[in-house]
Amino acid sequence: MIKRTKDAPDRRVARTQMALRDALHSLVREKDYDDIAVKEILDRADIGRSAFYSHFRDKDDLLASTIHDIIGPVRFAKRESGGSQSDKLLWFSLPIFEHHDGHRWTSPLKMGPRARAILHERLRKILVGLIGQQVKKSRREKRGESGTIPTAVLVEYLASTFVLVLEWWLETRSPLSADQANDLFRSLVQSTLTANGL
C-alpha cells in the first residue's frame, strides 16, 4: 500500500512527460519545429499549461528531454562483456545508430538546424557522463597508465566525435548502414584510444 502511494506520482509524472514528448514528436512530423507553439503541444497532449511548466521550462527544454527516448533503452542495452577495452568503452554507439536507422527513412522530422543543435548538445552531455564513468574506471584499473590525453579532454573528444558522425549520417541521409556508420565512428577514435591505453 505504501509502495503504491509512493510510486503513483512518479507514474503520473512519467505519463505526463511522455504525452508531451509524443505530442511534440507528432507535430514535428507535420510542421517545422520553430513554427510549433507551446499551446499546440498542450492541445495535442491534452495537458494543461501549469502541468507543462511544472515539468519543462519551455518548448526547447521539452525537445531536449526527448533524448531520453533514445538513451533510455541504450542504458539497458547489453554491454559487450568480451572484446577489447575500446569495445567496452564505446558500447553505446551501435545501439544509438540502430535506433536512428529504424526511423530515418520514415516520414522525416521537420527539425531545422536550431532544434537539431539542441538535441545534439543534450546527447553530447549525456554521452560525456556515460563515457567519463567508463574511462575513469579503466584508468583506475590500470593505475599507472593514465594516457597522454587528460580524461576530461578525451571524454569530450569521444562524445563530440560520435555526435559529429551521427549528425552527418542523419543529415546527409548517408546510405551507410548502422553497422557501417558505427565502424566509421570507431575508426576515427580508435588510434586515440589505443595511444591512451584504452
Domain of residue 17, residue span: 2-57
Q: Is the pLDDT of residue 102 over 80?
A: no
The verdict on 16 and 78 lying in the same domain is no
The verdict on 158 and 186 lying in the same domain is yes
* Average confidence (pLDDT) over 59-81: 69
Lowest-confidence pick of 20-29, 139-148, 187-196: 139-148
Last residue of a domain, one of 57, 78, 101: 57
Q: Is the pLDDT of residue 93 over 80?
A: yes
**Three-state DSSP class for residue 10:** helix
Mean of the per-residue pLDDT values of the chain: 83
The verdict on 92 and 158 lying in the same domain is yes
- Given this model, what pLDDT does residue 4 score? 44
- Given this model, what pLDDT does residue 144 score? 55
* Residue 120: Cβ-neighbour burial (10 angstroms; 0-12, 13-18, 19+): middle
Place of cell 551521427: 166
The verdict on 187 and 138 lying in the same domain is yes
The verdict on 89 and 41 lying in the same domain is no
Give the Cα separation of 92 and 100 in Å (integer).
13
Question: pLDDT band for position 145 (50/70/90)?
Answer: low
Query: Which grid cell sits at 104?
Result: 530515418
Question: pLDDT band for position 54 (50/70/90)?
Answer: very high
The dihedrals phi and psi of 16, each to the nearest 5 degrees, come to -65, -45
Report the CATH number at residue 37: 1.10.10
Q: Is the pLDDT of residue 157 over 90?
A: yes
The verdict on 49 and 126 lying in the same domain is no
| Confidence (pTM) | 0.74
Last residue of a domain, one of 30, 57, 84: 57
Give the Cα separation of 95 and 76 in Å (integer).
10
Q: Is the pLDDT of residue 72 over 80?
A: no
The verdict on 52 and 137 lying in the same domain is no
The verdict on 158 and 83 lying in the same domain is yes
- Given this model, what pLDDT does residue 121 score? 86
Cα 45 versus chain centre, distance = 23
* Average confidence (pLDDT) over 117-130: 86
The verdict on 53 and 72 lying in the same domain is no
The verdict on 103 and 27 lying in the same domain is no
- Given this model, what pLDDT does residue 101 score? 85
Q: How many structural domains comprise the chain?
A: 2
pLDDT tens-digit map of 168-198 = 998 888 999 999 999 999 999 999 998 888 8
The verdict on 100 and 134 lying in the same domain is yes
* Average confidence (pLDDT) over 29-45: 91
* Average confidence (pLDDT) over 87-108: 80
Percent of the chain, pLDDT > 70?
83
The verdict on 43 and 141 lying in the same domain is no
